[in-house]
Amino acid sequence: MEQAEKDAGTLAALMLHLEEVRLPRALQLLDKVNAGGLLSDRDISFLKKVYQDSRANESLVDRHPEYDGIVCRCFSLYTEIITKGIENEKNR
């Protein structure tokens, strides 16, 4: 199987996982921290896993710049969650 076919399958799986798992969870976390909540150990583990996966898939995204927009929007969302979570922790 050539790289383009592998990439297509991987990208399809990643987009499905983003839509069904990661984005809903991230939006829940955003609501939580915007309401003044603190990030739990489970929440932090989720965010660490997202970061680790993004590093593991970095070369895939480099080969497919058409996904730059969605990747940037996701990182912006995760950054907002982390920033607000840290702020809430400081204000605790």
The domain containing residue 79 runs over which residues? 3-90
* 8 Å CB contact between 26 and 81: yes
Element (H, E) at 60: helix 58-63
Residue 27's pLDDT is 98
Q: Give the pLDDT of the chain (92 residues) as one tens digit per residue.
A: 799 899 999 999 999 999 999 999 999 999 999 999 999 999 999 999 999 999 999 999 999 999 999 999 999 999 999 999 999 999 99
Count of the separate structural domains present in the chain: 1
Residue ranges in the chain assigned as alpha helix (H): 3-17, 23-34, 41-56, 58-63, 68-90
Token pair 């593991």: residue: 56
pTM score of the predicted model:
0.91
